[in-house]
Amino acid sequence: MTTRLAAPARARLVRGRSGERRPAYDPDSLLDVAVTVFNERGYDGTSMEQLARMAGISKSSIYHHVAGKEALLRVALDRALDALFAVCEEPGSTTGPAIDRLRYVIHRSIEVLDQELPYVTLLLRVRGNTPTELAALERRRAFDRFVAKLVARAAEDGDLRAELDPALATRLIFGMINSIAEWYHPGGELSVKELADGVVNLVLGESHQPG
Amino acid sequence: MTTRLAAPARARLVRGRSGERRPAYDPDSLLDVAVTVFNERGYDGTSMEQLARMAGISKSSIYHHVAGKEALLRVALDRALDALFAVCEEPGSTTGPAIDRLRYVIHRSIEVLDQELPYVTLLLRVRGNTPTELAALERRRAFDRFVAKLVARAAEDGDLRAELDPALATRLIFGMINSIAEWYHPGGELSVKELADGVVNLVLGESHQPG
DNA sequence: GTCTATAAATTGATAGAC
DNA sequence: GTCTATCAATTTATAGAC
C-alpha cells in the first residue's frame, strides 16, 4: 500500500475561503507529509527526493521550509513527546490511589496514540542513530520512569492482579500499548474507548474506566 | 551503546582445534555480524562500509560471501520465520483444547524470541520497502492468522478470561510478546520461563505452564 | 579469500534565477 | 516560495591483482 499524497495542485497556489490566494505549503503541512512517508518507508529509508515527490514540490523547496531532514524528524518527535508528557501533568495522573492513576495514564496514553498516531508511531521506531534520535530516546525513557513508579506503587498497595515484578509489568503493559501503533486506524470500527477499555481489561482485569 | 565486534584478527586466519589453519569467515558468522548491526542502526541506516568495518574485513570481501545487502536480510528474516513456523507444527500447537494450544504457542514463541533474538528482532522491524521485506511480511501475517484461529477457538470454548474480540486479543497479546525484543537480554537475570509465565499470567490469568 | 581501486548511481544540501 | 542546476559526499556493487 503506497500512500498517494499531495497532488501537484497542492503545492501550487490555493484559493482560501475568502477567495484570496495563499501559498499551499506551510511548515506544518510539510511535516504531515514527511511523517507519513517516514512511517511508510522508515526515516533512513526515505530520501529528500522521495519526500519532495510525495509533497508535490521540488527537493530544494523543502529547504526553504526546514533546515533539513533531521530537523523534520526532531519537530515530529517533539510533538509526540510533548503530548505524552502533558498526560503526566494532568490531575488524573497526579492525584488519587496509584492504581487509579495508572488506569488513567493507560487510557490517556492510548488517546494520545489515537490523536497523534503518526507522530507517536515515528517516535516508537527511533533507533538512536543521530543526536536528535538519542535525545528523543532519553525523553521517552523519562516517560517510562514516570509510569514505572505508578506500577510499583500500585503493586505496593496490592492493587495489581498479576504477581509480577513491577518493572517487568511496566514493560509488558506499555509494550502492548505501543504495539497498537502498528495496526490501529483512528476513526475505524474500533473506537478509542473500546480499545483502551480492552487493554485495561486485559492487563488490570477491569472492564471500565471510572468517569 | 555501540557494540564492538570482530577485531581485525577475526578476519584473518585462525587456528582450528587441531591446529590447522582455516578461513575466519563463513557466511554464517558474517550473517551474525550483519544482523547485529542491522538491529543497532536499522537495515536502511546501515551501509556496506559500516558492515565491513564491524566484520573486520573490506567491503568488497563481503560480496565474496553474499550477493549483496538485501541477500543478507533475506537469509536473516527466513531464519526467524522458519523458527516461528516450526512452532506451529509441534504437537503442543496442534493437539488438545485451544486454550492449551494457545498457551503452548505463547510459551514457545517467547522461547524462539530468546533463542533467535537478533533474527526475530530484525523481522519485527521490517517495513516492506523491498520485495524481500514484503515477502517476509506476508509470511509473518500467515503466522498471525494461525494464532488468531487459536484465540478465536479458545474464546468459543469460553476459556478466555477477558471478554475481548478474539482478533483484538490476538493483536494485543502478540504486540506484548513482540515488544519483548526491545529490551530482553538472553542469559540475563530474567529467565525465559519467568518471562513466558509472566506474560501468560498477565493476559490469560494463569501462573504456570503445565508440563 | 582478501585487498585496492573505481565505477555508477543516489544522497543531503546549496546557489542563484524567476 | 518555487524552480533548475549543481556539488561534495556517500552508497551499492564490480574489476582485477595477490
pLDDT tens figures, B121-161? 999 999 999 999 999 999 999 999 999 999 999 999 999 98
Phi and psi at residue A67, to the nearest 5°: -70, -25
* Interface contact B172-A45, CB threshold 8 A: no
What distance, in Å, lies between the first and last C-alpha atoms of chain A? 39
* Interface contact A202-B172, CB threshold 8 A: yes
Q: pLDDT tens, B23-77?
A: 567 778 899 999 999 999 999 999 999 999 999 999 999 999 999 999 999 999 9
Sequence-distant (6+) residues with CB within 8 A of B184 are: B113, B114, B117, B190, B195
Q: A180 is written with which cell numbers?
A: 497498537
Closest residue (CA) to C1' of nucleotide C3 is B58
pLDDT of the residue at A81: 98
A164, A195, A201 ranked by CB distance to B202: nearest: A164
Q: What is the overall mean pLDDT for chain A?
A: 89
Which of A3, A179, A193, A206 best tests the B interface by mutation, with the highest count of B CBs <10 A?
A179
Check: CB of residue B181 under 8 Å from CB of residue B124.
Answer: yes
Q: How far apart are CA B139 and CA B131, in angstroms?
A: 13
* Interface contact A127-B44, CB threshold 8 A: no
Bases of chain D with protein Cβ within 7 A: 1-6, 10-16
Write A107-111 long-range contacts (CB < 8 A, 24+): A107/A196, A107/A200, A107/A209, A109/A84, A109/A174, A109/A177, A110/A177, A110/A180, A110/A192, A110/A195, A110/A196, A110/A199, A111/A192, A111/A196
Which of B100, B138, B129, B124 minimizes the C-alpha distance to B182? B124
The residue ranking higher by pLDDT, A72 or B1, is A72
The residue ranking higher by pLDDT, B118 or B2, is B118
Neighbours of A6 (CB within 10 A): 18
Instruction: Report if CB A199 to strand D is under 7 Å.
Output: no
| Rg (alpha carbons) of chain A, rounded to whole number | 20
* CATH number of A12-69, picked from 3.30.830.10, 3.40.50.720, 1.10.10.60, 1.25.40.10: 1.10.10.60
pLDDT of the residue at B144: 95
* Interface contact B179-A182, CB threshold 8 A: no
* Interface contact A202-B162, CB threshold 8 A: yes
pLDDT at B195 over 50: yes
| CA–C1' gap, A138 and D8, in angstroms | 33
Q: pLDDT tens, A128-163?
A: 999 999 999 999 999 999 999 999 999 999 999 888
* Region A73-204: CATH code: 1.10.357.10
Exposed (0-12), middle (13-18) or buried (19+): which is B13, by Cβ within 10 Å? exposed
Q: What is the residue type of B19?
A: G
Instruction: Report if CB A55 to strand D is under 7 Å.
Output: no
Domains A12-69 and A73-204 share a fold: no
Give the torsion sign (CA, A175, A179, A185, A189): negative
**DSSP SS3 for A135:** helix
Q: Where are the alpha helices (DSSP H) in B20-165?
A: 27-41, 48-55, 59-65, 69-89, 91-94, 98-115, 117-124, 131-156
Domain layout of chain A by residue ranges: 12-69, 73-204
- Residue B175 with chain A: CB contacts under 8 Å: 175-176, 178-180, 182
Which of B148, B207, B146, B192 minimizes the C-alpha distance to B173? B148
